[in-house]
């Protein structure tokens, strides 16, 4: 079943730059996807064209899972596609996926810097909060210019 955005969610997205769609995927589906990703990590599942990861490599995984039917099915799932189509005013193209095995520890950034004209869909596969890598958003930043690297201080 595709998820439709409410008028409130559309207004929220326009105002804040994001909206939340709760319970888009059942917990059992999320658990199955996590199991698939753990199998990919352990080498029990392979993806053509990608070498297996080492046992101690728990870094984020970018795009690799989309080259397997399980990962691809999530990227093109109507429950994601329908709301994205509504927000974009056209059919979305899935260009990248990212999976974090341990926390998100993603530094502050703008997705639009790396992927101009794109929107992101974030799916929490487990309960999230301050304790395990929740997503922080700068409300309204979609209405401001994309920052350049020169706008940021260098790492200490």
pLDDT, one tens digit per residue, over 35-56 is: 999 998 888 988 887 788 888 8
With respect to residue 12, please indicate whether it lies within any of the assigned structural domains: no
With respect to residue 85, please indicate whether it lies within any of the assigned structural domains: yes
Paired with 99 in beta bridges are 61
With respect to residue 9, please indicate whether it lies within any of the assigned structural domains: no
With respect to residue 4, please indicate whether it lies within any of the assigned structural domains: no
Which residue segment(s) compose the domain that 113 sits in?
19-151
Dihedral sign from CA coordinates of 18, 24, 27, 31: negative
With respect to residue 88, please indicate whether it lies within any of the assigned structural domains: yes
The predicted-structure confidence for 80-109, as pLDDT tens digits, reads as follows 999 999 998 999 988 888 888 876 666 777
Judge if pTM exceeds 0.95. Answer: no
**pLDDT bucket at 2, cuts 50 / 70 / 90:** low
Cα–Cα distance between 141 and 60 in angstroms, integer?
25
Cα–Cα distance between 149 and 117 in angstroms, integer?
18
Residue pair 36/72 in contact (Cβ under 8 Å)? The answer is: no
Cα–Cα distance between 24 and 22 in angstroms, integer?
6
The predicted-structure confidence for 4-43, as pLDDT tens digits, reads as follows 899 999 999 999 999 999 889 999 999 999 999 999 888 8
């Amino acid at each position: 079943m595709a998820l439709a955005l409410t008028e409130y969610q559309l207004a929220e997205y326009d105002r804040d730059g994001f909206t939340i769609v709760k319970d888009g995927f059942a917990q059992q589906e999320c658990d199955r996807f996590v199991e698939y990703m753990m199998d990919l990590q352990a080498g029990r599942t392979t993806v053509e064209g990608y070498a297996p990861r080492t046992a101690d490599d728990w870094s984020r995984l970018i795009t690799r899972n989309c080259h397997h039917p399980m990962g691809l099915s999530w990227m093109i799932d109507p429950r994601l596609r329908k709301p994205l189509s509504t927000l974009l005013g056209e059919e979305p193209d899935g260009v990248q996926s990212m999976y974090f095995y341990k926390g998100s520890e993603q530094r502050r950034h703008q997705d639009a810097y790396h992927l101009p004209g794109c929107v992101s869909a974030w799916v929490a596969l487990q309960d999230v909060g301050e304790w395990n890598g929740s997503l922080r958003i700068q409300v309204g930043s979609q209405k401001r210019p994309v920052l350049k690297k020169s706008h940021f201080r260098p790492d200490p």
